[in-house]
Structure 1
């Protein structure tokens, strides 16, 4: 959520942003001190001074005592330095004993050391800063230096320091006096600090006193990401009244209290990868009037309730969670939201206005969700958006998918790209540079691929000239991603190749009835017997299926319905798998290793888990009732098995009876509509299903989607069990 400074790169080398006439770079030099002296002697100081200095990755054990060095104009470095980096050196110990000899020799230089410093002396890593006044130093880079502790006042002689970078160290303790003398500090980066104790256990950052930040009265951005934190540390953050940006992603914080940010003015907040950090829906109550950007990626979020009534919120990123829908009252309360990113969640097709309830929404990303149909309500919901992305969803073709694509194609010609900027610019000062929210979104916009015309007939051109409303672009468009499934033919096709909505026949109901009756009279009266025979032959599968259904219904009526399955039921298995004998190899070789081993989901198989001595019917009913989820492995062979069809009927019967929605369909091959029983056709229309891909590269996505669904059912039931 924060950017590295622009004048030095990740390796510690000075960039082109540092003017050549004002910089010295002796990084990666074995004897950087000698190199610095040589460059200072040759430095042209007539109209310039050394403002930028890099001694990164020079094998320094402490901060070197070089700040009294002068240029040819007798200007000491302590007076001229504005930007200093010592990144990547070896300040591993708080203090250590270093031998001092009378003569220090190396291949390039020999110098004499006075006898009185013989023997051993104690030094701290910051010894080079002691006794030196840095009146002009604005930015100090100490990344990746192995620093473990911040002792008292290491930066006290830097009164004008504004930005301090202490990331990627081993800092595990700071105290009240660690930041003495830097009251003008604006940005503090303490991200990625790792330290292990003597038992090789990762220990978190410890604040010796809750007043550690009390002297940082101007601090506006604080980055603690990827640094293990204790909840008590948050009390110290509450004292930062001027704080605008806070990043605490992957800090192992959980279940934040409603008052944890009360009294602050935070606008930019990153809590990503902290599971259950927003378990309390009132966790953001203290910053409702100021919060502008929130990153909440992968925090086990099941709804957006925690973001209700945040009128200043403009960017919300909640990818990799378990959000299935956006509530109406939440959407209405987000009056200034411009960007909503809900990738890798469980959103499905919706049939009521949702996005239009957020009047300022411009950018919507719903990639890799469970949207399997583009409804008319969704198309209307997209009308006022400027950018949408729905790639990665398993969409079944309909004319709305075609219209969505053609509107985006038309807009490529008439609407230029438009970047997104903050609505609330009050006090939008330099600290905003360290937040990448709007920068990230505008980067996606600038790099998007234009939708290309695929019109091959006049009908397409006619659709392009229609008055269909919509101002959006597809920011994630790619030829291979915007395809849908033609259910009748069982193949993928581009959105643009789907028949248009205007191509559907508009017949009145009276015409349809009259035409049907005339055909019936023509066929039935002359040849009454022959049509019945033809009917029986053509629909022999349906007739056979009817009798199977009757038999199964009779068997189902014998099942004891007194045991009601509710949210408090304790299950023995996570999933019951129904499959035919011909698909046994796929189940044993593919499904079990990925589900039982990789996803840790307990599976019930009839050949392994049925109880000896019970009838097959009793075993099927018992195992289904003791399983959280029912998984049907569907193939054409599956439909030929009477027991498999019975299990499919029983699954539907049990789900309707108990009002559960714990059914997952996996298609191992295409099943044409003429071969599908009505029960299966209904289940495929009302349940999201996954298709086993033949291409090995696509199988990774298949297992990820299936395991995610199984784990979601398992987690939801586990929560119910804990409540019970």
Structure 2
């Protein structure tokens, strides 16, 4: 029964073409062989006598109650077709097969009741479809071969239902839905969005209630993408590549009841986003996402566990682990274990910070001692193993400088053989820190250390510091390399102010300066002998 019907339709098409083949096309030539006007001629068909080179045809105000494949002769160069007010009610599938290169199709003022879902399949180059005052409230263009939509592509505000799903469209123009101010349902699944176009694409669709953007390869959505969709009730983002739903942080989708973000790449949702979810949300599908069930996401996991009445398929919300075979439900995650871990982490963190602070204070307080220790760790060499620049480093207070210069330096450096002393005011390198000079030039660069003890020495912080460093060397060498000269008597209790001095005086022989000439002579003999003795 089907074949005779098809043959009958082909026969009718041939008859119509043959009947009109001998007639003039009854159309006005605007541009020869390119642009023609057949407007208002009461025609019921497209003249077959039109030249195949025609690119623009105005066929408005004629009578074409139904459009089907046989209505149009083969006009492969036709780009613009105006069918305004042609009383068109039905548009069948494959109607425009013979005019497949159309870029603009105008159907204004037609009482269209049926728009075949595949009627535009052959129009690969269609950029503009005008349906002003077409009486069409629903337009189904799903699974067409449309690749792009230009600004004002539909040219009507009557449409309330628009389906362009899986039409190979790459949304580039942010104004392609301009004029569809009454649109309530928009289905655009399976199409691609270029760049940040989704941020502005829906700005004028203030009446939109249902938006389907599933399987659109969407990676990220800007928070302002849906700022004007305050009536939106259903948002379908299933099967995209979203890693977050931060676009819900702005509380503008107050009417949203259904949100589908399943089969994306969402690992977690921040607390501030969860707190701003629409209060009317009753159907939230988060399944088939690689949820991060770690202690860093306890707020998110807690929300999942305590909002299963809102979640669709909560049993299919799995925690992503390193082994696919060991995935487990997010609702089974043990949050209490994280609480204990957090407490332990906090205690350890406090302890760690305390230790770091204490160590920092100790390092700051004893930085020069540490510097000296580093020198020792790099490899300490005793005076017999290293080349020293000086025979003795003199530790003294600046208040005793006159005695050091007039007595000590005069009797040691000008004697035979001369003894080379290291004196800070003369031998320390300019531009180098005092501590580094004490260690490098004084303690490490001298065979002996002479300590001139006086009341001024006891009161000097630098003298105490130098003596403490000298003791470190004494401990390394296990030898009496420190020669103490008591320049003036110091009370025992005051000598204890200098760490190790009192103990050193109790255990080691020291020299005492005297103004008596005889004692003075013995003093220099013993001092020279002590210095020279250690050089062998």
Higher relative contact order structure (alpha carbons within 8 Å, sequence separation ≥ 6): 1
Please tell me whether Structure 1 or Structure 2 has the larger radius of gyration of its CA atoms: 2
Name the TM-score, length of structure 2 as normaliser: 0.46
